[in-house]
Amino acid sequence: MAISNANAAKINKMNRASANVSLGTVVQNLQSGSATLNGFIRASGSSAVSASEASASTVTITTGLTGIKGYIVQCYTSASIMTGMKVVNSGSNLTVVAGSSVGSTPKSLGLNDAVNWIVW
């Protein structure tokens, strides 16, 4: 599936680190060599926010891996990407905390919001 220019622009804006390296553009350009990208991905997944996670505005992603070197996490509500999420890497789990990144407007995770992730 091709990544549209609009989605590449959204990825570029999703956090400071990806904006600094134009991650959306990089990912879009990798489409012709996706085998290279797949060689680095160690695990990925998607889940819906549970009632208890929504109440705590925290989601813990259990990757089943140790030594996570990098990750991409995206949260969606009503098919719109959410900004202002902080992700903490414990080495084997990722914890998504709503509305806690620097300069963000407090957000909250709602029941059945989508959390998509890739780790390498």
Residue that is written with structure tokens 């091709």 in the block: 2
Q: Write out the H or E segment, with its range, that includes residue 27.
A: helix 23-29
Is the per-residue pLDDT at 35 higher than 50? no
Q: What angle do CA 28, 22, 87 make, to 5 degrees?
A: 100
Say which amino acid occupies 113: D
Q: Average pLDDT for residues 90-110, to the nearest whole number?
A: 75
DSSP secondary structure letter of residue 37 = H
* Domain extent listing, the chain: 1-39, 41-120
Q: What proportions of the chain, in percent to the nearest 5, are helix, strand and coil?
A: 30, 30, 40
Q: What is the pLDDT of residue 112?
A: 93
Indicate whether this model's pTM tops 0.75.
no
**Predicted confidence (pLDDT) per residue in 55-71, tens digit:** 888 999 998 888 888 88
